[in-house]
Amino acid sequence: MSDDTRLIHAGKHAEPLARTVGPPIQKGSTVLLPNAAALYDDANHLTYGRAGLSAQACLQDALATLEGADGVTLYPSGIAAISGAMLALLGAGDEVLVVDNVYKPVRRFCDSVLKRFGVTVSYFDPATAPDRLVGEASDAVRMILLESPGSLSFEMQDVPAIAALAKARGILTAIDNTWAAGILFRPLDHGVDVSIQALTKYVGGHSDVFMGSAAARDPAVVRRLADGINHMGWAVSGEDAYAILRGLRTLPVRMERQGASGLRVAAWLRDQPEVAALFHPALPGCPDHALWARDFKGACGLFGFALRPAPEAAVDAFLDALTVFGLGFSWGGFESLAISCDPQLKPRRFPKDYGGPLIRLHVGLEDPDDLIADLRAGLDAYARLAV
């Protein structure tokens, strides 16, 4: 054969891969099939790389174990997982009920895309009683989308009650379970049909990879989600799947440490004179603590608090004085972060008075004493400008 041909076929591994602890990161769009009959035998052969190779398959397997699921689909981001699940399960003429404390980009997707495709979107107050929510749902309602606790203002819903009532009416339930990361709360065990996560946050854990997942048990739902991936053409890379799987290995220990540190910081904050209210469902006395205590087995490091009302300059001074906390969106990584929330609350249908400017903290793996000292310095800067 000529050099051209030999170069195309040279250097191919013929031996089985060495068995490492993690999966091989295979790169490939083309998958070579063993014979002509296999070309169109999708049931028994992986025929194309877009469906994911070894690292993606291992991650799906591990996530199925985490979530107690029969099928897990992977998406290139958390928001893609939520939009993907909705596109796969909803159609024109359907109505979806979305909790009002939902992650803001989800609201944007619902209002600009779902509505354009003929899906009616209705928001409900997170405090709505489950029997009222489901009892008053129109016959067009096909899905209820929950987020509990909400990742900005931390209201919870009675998820098992809503799931049971919805099931009796043939309504699907889906939840953004990023706060619990599939480890603090397992929605599928509580009757929810689809558990969605931004793996970008705690499962990845290192603030450097985007990915999302949707997990389900019902074979028909699993099938619809998988078809949705195929129809939309979504794919995640082997490198990214590997990185998320690596994060998953240490999820329980990071979560335990960050949850405990977060609770310590939150309890300290509650006693500070500049703080009007704490929003951490795992802290006794906080809103929805009873729901958390009944259904959850731990806390992550994400919670909120309200400063006493003060001019915006004082709130900015608080944030600008922080040096251990970074200012940044996202959370679930190893690092502590802070943001002000009020601009994100504006589009809500059921506005609520949180008692003052709402701040969200993500407590990372730093020593909580250093975080508390940093917050004290921030509160001092706030107090100088608060009237």
Interaction of residue 175 with ligand PLP, rule CB under 6 A: no
What's the rounded Cα separation, in Å, for the pair 138 and 144?
12
Choice among 94, 158, 176, 193 that is catalytic: 176
Interaction of residue 357 with ligand PLP, rule CB under 6 A: no
Query: How far is CA 217 from its chain centroid?
Result: 18
Active site residue 50: yes
Choice among 103, 123, 202, 382 that is catalytic: 103
Choice among 50, 104, 224, 352 that is catalytic: 50
Closest CA to 75 of 229, 207, 215, 221: 229
Which parts of 230-289 interact with ligand PLP (CB under 6 A)? none
- Residue 178 is given by DSSP the state T
Interaction of residue 157 with ligand PLP, rule CB under 6 A: no
What's the rounded Cα separation, in Å, for the pair 379 and 186?
37
- 112: CB partners within 8 A, 6+ apart: none
x-or-dash pattern for ligand PLP, window 4-23, by CB under 6 A? --------------------
In the complex with ligand PLP, the residue whose CB is nearer, 172 or 175, is 175
Interaction of residue 155 with ligand PLP, rule CB under 6 A: no
- 85: CB partners within 8 A, 6+ apart: 174, 194, 196, 214, 225, 228
Interaction of residue 198 with ligand PLP, rule CB under 6 A: yes
Interaction of residue 304 with ligand PLP, rule CB under 6 A: no
C-alpha to C-alpha distances, 110 to 79, 145, 352, nearest whole angstrom: 11, 11, 22
Choice among 107, 142, 186, 201 that is catalytic: 201
From candidates 60, 72, 94, 103, binder to ligand PLP by CB under 6 A? 103
Pairing type for strands 302-307 and 358-362 reads antiparallel
In the complex with ligand PLP, the residue whose CB is nearer, 77 or 120, is 77
Tell me which stretch binds ligand PLP (CB under 6 A): 51-59, 198-206, 241-249, 309-317. Answer: 198-206
In the complex with ligand PLP, the residue whose CB is nearer, 107 or 201, is 201
- Residue 82 is given by DSSP the state H
C-alpha to C-alpha distances, 180 to 86, 249, 250, nearest whole angstrom: 21, 16, 15
Interaction of residue 200 with ligand PLP, rule CB under 6 A: yes
Total length of the chain: 387
Alpha-carbon torsion angle 183, 188, 189, 190, nearest 10 = 110
Least distance in Å: CB of 4 to ligand PLP? 43
Least distance in Å: CB of 151 to ligand PLP? 4
Residue 219: its H or E element: helix 219-232
Closest CA to 235 of 52, 78, 100, 369: 52
Least distance in Å: CB of 120 to ligand PLP? 22
- Tokens 């939902």 appear where? 102
Bridge partners for 339 per DSSP: 360
Interaction of residue 151 with ligand PLP, rule CB under 6 A: yes
From candidates 124, 185, 202, 210, binder to ligand PLP by CB under 6 A? 210
Q: Report the residue number whose CB is nearest to ligand PLP.
A: 78
Active site residue 353: no
Interaction of residue 153 with ligand PLP, rule CB under 6 A: no
126: tokens are 């997170």
Active site residue 240: no
Amino acid at 219: P
What's the rounded Cα separation, in Å, for the pair 271 and 375?
13
Asked whether 49 and 30 are in contact (CB, 8 A), the reply is yes
339: tokens are 């943001």
Tell me which stretch binds ligand PLP (CB under 6 A): 1-9, 113-121, 195-203, 375-383. Answer: 195-203
Active site residue 103: yes
Interaction of residue 101 with ligand PLP, rule CB under 6 A: no
Interaction of residue 176 with ligand PLP, rule CB under 6 A: yes
Where on the chain is the footprint of ligand PLP (CB under 6 A)?
77-79, 103, 151, 176, 178, 198, 200-201, 210, 212, 330
Residues acting as catalytic residues: 50, 103, 176, 201
